[in-house]
Structure formats: structure tokens, C-alpha cells
Amino acid sequence: MYLTREEERILDGERGEAVDKAMELLVKLGDAYGAKHMVEVSSCHLVSCVYNVVYDSGLEIAEVFLKLGARFVVPTTLCTASIPLEDTEKFRFPDEWVEKQSKLCELYRAMGGLDNWTCIPYWNTNVPRYGEHIAWGESNCVSYANSIVGARTNRYASYIELCAAITGRIPMIDLHIPENRRGTILVKLKGLDASKMTAKDYGALGYAIGCVSAGGIPVIDGIPHTVSKKMLRVMGAAAASSGSVALYHVLGVTPEARSLEEALGGDKPEDRVEIGLEELRKAYLELSTAGDGVVDLVFIGCPHYSIDQIGVVVDMFRGRRVHPNVELWLATDNLTYTLACRMGYREVLERAGVKFMVGSCAMNAPTYTRGFNVMATDSAKTAHYAPMQARTDVFYGSLEECIEAAVEGRIPI
Amino acid sequence: MSGVRVRCRSLTRGVAVGEALVSMQPFGFWGELDPHTGLVTDVHHEWYGRCVAGKILIFPYGRGSTGSGGVIVEAYRRGKAPAAIVNLKTDFILLSGPLSVEVFYGGRLPVVDRPEADIFSMVKNGCKVKVDGDRGFIEIP
């Protein structure tokens, strides 16, 4: 791979050991995939700071980097932590997790990470621009930045994004290269009126898109240009979890798909699929492992809720309370939580029995240690991972159905 | 050891010999493998209950979450990592694990992909296989 003089100096150790080590990993990555050169990134979003994906080795590596003098050279945000960062003790998670994630928080703050642990950095603290090269981790973040914004990143994790934050660079591979961003699978919506679809429908649609897109870049035809960013991010998060979709295009909606020709890069699609009511029904069936009966955990806020979504929950709870046998966790980031406090939302919701899960979520936290049996959630992504991660059965419902489940302690019929 | 050599693309350096564990199913590591024990924990996977430590893992490609690499590094640190990985196509998420093993732990975990022959019909479970990440081939007796 071609290296600039500065990059060579870094590799020769002239800029210190930390940058040298970080550059070594990036060069190995670039060489493995035949990158021609590095590209400068304008921001990073890290997942290597999250205990449940890096374990004890993640702590060791961060400690080594800090000791060697690592410091982030571009704006760097941190993803959803493995313990709630406010009222931690209310969740009764094991001390070991609290200690280890707290230590990771300390190490990443010291390297210059922005202390707002969230999977929606694109909403407030790390907003990329069209065409920018960035090095981001976490599948919904990557999907949003690539697809809705048109920034350029691959799905990075396990210290690649960390090394990018320390060097300000990433090898020019895969989705950083314009030719590799063209759509390969044409997905037509059949018999679905997308303008009437709810968030629950968009989650199931995303799940179905992921299932047919393995390894490809879907171009979705049939979603009106009036669709909200919120619906798109729900769809993208679901497609990323069922099919590792790092980039999708929506015809006439997302920035690299103003026309079919642009979306496909002038080529014919490698594959064409139709998604209709039947496919959505199948997605609903696969996403819910529990059809009826008692619920003991309700989880909302995946991806992290924005302030207006919390406002909707407040309206739903007027005069109602969470059932005594149920816990309801609402996940959001620290900034949004501060706003929820200022607007009086926290008071209303906490009085109704809701627990704010600040800077964390039910999938990254050790929810399994609490021994819940059935979780209800309004997130297709959480529904997909819950049986494995939280070791619960799961009911995938609309927000209304989830609140109903929390209040009644049962899956609504 | 001598046998049939299949040329591959080399992604990380190192040479490993071990028993093959073969599956046509994709494998995602995170949530599917316990790095403390090396045991496969995904009930939907045909490797469920098997131990990957010291094995040559042969599967088409990775899948799922961004956590694969972290699981591989942790398994390596605890002596429970596979000896080598052979894929049809290896993604960055998976490769970040063996790369980090090299850079942060000074170890070797050879990964090769794009084999030039149909290895799934050539290699059976338990078969002793050599993976050469330095020269880019796998050797089957």
C-alpha cells in the first residue's frame, strides 16, 4: 500500500508508540484487502469501548494504548455502554460488569472520547456530512451514516475504529470507494402502502430486507419521499441485524439514489426480489418467539430514543402504571436524558414505574443475569438478538402494544 | 505433511496445523461462541456444543454483529481460539480479531480466504489440515 511520508514517519515510530501501533494494525488491514492508500477520516464512532463486545482483552488493549500516550485526533463518540450510567444500582447487574465497564469509560474518556454513550451519535453529537470518510462501528450507526447521510464507512469494530481515531486514517477499502457503493439487489415493495406503514411495519420490512440481502446492497423501490428519518433508521437497524446490511439505497429518498440508474451505478441488478404482506407476516412470526402470556420485561429505546419519542411515551402513560411484576426499561443517551429531566418527562415516567436506562441498552447490558422469561420490545433489532443475548422469549410489538404489555403484565391479544 | 495444496488469498501471517471443523453455515462468533471456554453456544448452529480451541475452522463467511473480532481476541488470550480460519470470503469484522492478536498480543492466527478449489467437498470434519498464511495455501492430506 502507498503510504505518505507522514504515514511512514508514524510507522517508523517518530510520532510515538501509540500511533505507531495503531498504524501497524491499519496497514495490515489495508494490505490484506489490497488497499491502494489510506484516507483521512473526519470522525470516529467506537464500539471497542463496550465491555460486552471486547471482554477483558478490551480493557488490556485500552490500558496499553493509554499508557503509550494514545489520544484521539478526530472527533470521537462512544457507543452504548454495557451498564446504565445513571441509577446503575437500580438495575442490579453484577458488580464485575459495573467495575469493568466503568474502567473502560474512564480509559476512553482519558483518550478523548466524548462522554455521551449512545448508538444515535448521528442525532446530536457526531453528525456526518455527505461524502465524508468516517470510521464508525455499530451496525445501525453505520447503516444510518452510509445510507441516509451518504457518508462513507464500513462496519468497523474490534480496534479498527479505535486505531482510526488514534491515527485519523483508514485504509481505502470497500465502501470508501464510490464504485463499491452501487446497489446490487433491487427490492420492490409489492401490495404494501408504505405511506400507511407504522414503525413496527418498517422494522419487519427491514428485517425482511436483511434476510434477502446477504452480502449485497439493496435498492428499495416503493417508499414515498415523505418517509421520516425515524422510520428509515428503524428499517436500517433491522436490516443490519438480520443481514449485516451496511448500506442500502431507497429510490428517490436517500442521497445516492436520486434515480434507479444512479442507485445501480448504471448496471443491471444482480438480483431482484419482491417483498409483500406475506414476507412481512413471516418477519413478524420470526421476530416473536412468544405469542401470548405473561411478560416480565419491556424494553424500548433501540436504537436510543430521541426526546420526541420519549414525549410520546409520556402521553401514553397518563394515569397508568407499570405492572408490579414487570420492569420497563427505556434506553436513551445522556444528553437526551438531561433534556427529559428538564422537560419534566423523567418525573412523570419514573412515577409511573419506568426505569431510564441511560447510556446503555438491554442487549449490551448483562440482562441475562436478571433471569427474565419474556421480553416485549418495539425494536426488531432487539427482538432478533434477545433470545441469544438476554436469554428470554420475545414479543415484537408496536410501542402501544409494549406499553399495554407493561401495564397489564401480559402480551396484548 | 504432504498432500493436495489449494491456493488461497492470505489475510494474516502464520502457519497452523490442526483438526478441521467444517460447516457450510456462516459463523458469527459474537453471541455464538463463549470465549472463556471455546464452546459454540449458538443452538441453531451445527457446531453447537463443540470446542473450537486449536481447530482449523472452515466456514463460508462471518455474519451478524460487529463483535466477532473481540470474541476471537478474548478466546486467544484465554487459549481457546481456533488455530486458523478458512473462509470463502472473510469480512473486516472477523479479520479484525486475528489482526489484533498479531498487533496487541504478538500472536499468530492465520486466516486465508478465496480458495481456488471446492474445499467443502475436499475437507471432512476431523481431517488434519495445514493452513499456511505466509504463502497462501491450505494443505489437505
Mutate one of A56, A57, A159, A167 to test the B interface: name it (highest B CB count within 10 A).
Answer: A57
Characterize the bridge pairing of strands B9-10 and B15-22.
unpaired
Q: Highest-confidence range of A71-75, A230-234, A383-387, by mean pLDDT?
A: A71-75
Band of the pLDDT at B141, cuts 50, 70, 90? confident
- Contact: B73, A244; criterion CB under 8 Å: no
Q: Are A198 and A280 in contact, with CB atoms under 8 Å apart? A: no
Residue A367 contacts B where some CB pair is shorter than 8 Å: no
Q: Label residue B30 by pLDDT band (50, 70, 90).
A: confident
| Mean pLDDT, residues A296-325 taken together | 96
Q: CATH 3.40.1060 occupies which residues in chain A?
A: 182-286
Within 8 A of B76 by CB-CB distance, chain A residues are: 57
Q: Is the pLDDT of residue A217 over 90?
A: yes
State the pLDDT confidence band at B1, using cuts at 50, 70 and 90.
low
| Contact with chain A for residue B49, Cβ under 8 A | no
Query: B64 and chain A: CB distance < 8 Å anywhere?
Result: yes
Q: pTM of the entire structure?
A: 0.96
How far is B117 from A295, CA to CA, in rounded Å? 51
Of A357, A265, A270, A354, nearest in space to A313 by CA: A354
Q: Where are the beta strands (DSSP E) in A202-253?
A: 218-221, 249-250
Contact A155 B66 (CB under 8 A): yes
Q: Chain A residues with CB inside 8 Å of B68's CB?
A: 157-158
* Cα–Cα separations (whole angstroms), residue A189 to A219, B66, B75: 11, 29, 43
**For chain A, percent of residues with pLDDT exceeding 90:** 94
Strands A44-46 vs A135-136: parallel, antiparallel or unpaired: parallel
Which of B10, B23, B65, B121 is an active site residue? B65
Chain A residues touching residue B24 (CB < 8 angstroms)? none
Q: How many CB atoms lie within 10 A of CB B53?
A: 16
- pLDDT for A39 beyond 60: yes
Of the pLDDT bands very low, low, confident and very high (cuts 50, 70, 90), residue B63 is: confident
Q: What residues does A294 pair with on adjacent strands?
A: A410
Residue B65 has pLDDT above 80, yes or no: no
CA nearest to B92 within chain A: A156
| Mean pLDDT computed over every residue of chain A | 96
Pairwise CB contact (< 8 Å): A53 & B70: yes
pLDDT 10s digits, A400-411: 999 999 999 999
Q: Among A124-133, A284-293, A344-353, B105-114, which is the least confidently predicted range?
A: A284-293
Question: In angstroms, rounded to a whole number, what is the distance separating the alpha carbons of residues B92 and A142?
Answer: 14
Are B69 and A157 an interchain contact pair (Cβ–Cβ within 8 Å)?
Answer: yes
pLDDT of B43:
79
Is the bond preceding residue A324 a cis peptide, omega within 30 degrees? no
Residues of B in contact with A154 (CB under 8 A): 92
Beta carbons of A316 and A403 less than 8 angstroms apart: yes
Question: According to the model, what pLDDT value does residue A288 have?
Answer: 94
Q: What CA–CA distance (Å, rounded) separates A55 from A336?
A: 28
What gap in Å lies between CA A121 and CA A134, rounded to an integer?
A: 13
CA distance A245 to chain B (A): 10
B10 is catalytic: no
Architecture, CATH, for domain A182-286: 3-Layer(aba) Sandwich (3.40)
Tell me which chain A residues have a C-beta less than 8 angstroms from the C-beta of B103: 21, 24-25, 28, 159
Give every CB contact of residue B85 below 8 A, 6+ residues apart in sequence.
Answer: B56, B57, B94, B98, B109, B110, B111, B112
pLDDT of the residue at B2: 67
In this prediction, residue A199 has a pLDDT band, given cuts at 50, 70 and 90, of: very high
| Contacting residues of B for A29, CB less than 8 Å apart | 92, 95-96, 99
**Facing residue for A157 by CB, picked from B10, B89, B93:** B93
- pLDDT number for residue A169: 98
- pLDDT of A175 reads 97
CATH topology of domain A5-178: Aconitase; domain 3 (3.30.499)
Question: For chain A, how far is it from start to end, CA to CA, in angstroms?
Answer: 60
Question: Mapping DSSP to helix (H, G, I), strand (E, B) and coil, where does residue B36 land?
Answer: coil
For chain A, say whether B113 makes contact (Cβ under 8 Å).
Answer: no
High-pLDDT (> 90) share of chain B, %: 82
pLDDT in tens, A270-288: 999 999 999 999 999 999 9
> Interior CA angle at A171 toward A147 and B136, to 5°?
115
Residue of A nearest to B95 (CA): A29
CB-count burial class (<10 Å; 0-12, 13-18, 19+) for A351:
exposed
> What is the pairing mode between strands B84-86 and B33-34?
unpaired
SS3 B125: coil
Q: What is the DSSP string of A379-402?
A: -HHHHHHHHHHT--EEEE--HHHH
A288-408, CATH topology level: Aconitase; domain 3 (3.30.499)
- B71 vs A contacts (CB less than 8 Å): 53, 55
Binary contact (A48, B70; C-beta < 8 A): yes
In this prediction, residue B11 has a pLDDT band, given cuts at 50, 70 and 90, of very high
Q: Does A24 touch chain B (CB under 8 A)?
A: yes
Residue B31's pLDDT band (cuts 50, 70, 90) = confident
> In whole angstroms, how far apart are CA A192 and each of A233, A271, A275, A344?
19, 20, 8, 39
Is residue B42 within 8 angstroms of chain A, CB to CB?
yes
A237, closest residue in chain B (CA to CA): B65
Closest CA to A143 of B88, B66, B72: B66
**Residue in chain A lying closest to B32 (CA):** A388
With a cut of 80, say whether residue A214 has pLDDT above it: no
Q: What is the ipTM of this complex?
A: 0.95
The answer to whether A185 touches A363, Cβ cutoff 8 Å, is: no
pLDDT at A57 over 80: yes
- Cα–Cα distance for residue pair A186/A184, rounded to 1 Å: 7
- The verdict on B97 touching A (C-beta cutoff 8 Å) is yes
What does the pLDDT average to over B109-119? 97
Task: Report how far apart, in Å, the C-alpha atoms of A31 and of each of A38, A228, A246, B73 are.
Answer: 11, 40, 22, 20
- Name the DSSP class of A90: G
Task: Considering chain A, tell me which residue range(s) the CATH 3.30.499.10 domain(s) occupy.
Answer: 288-408
Residue A149 has pLDDT above 80, yes or no: yes
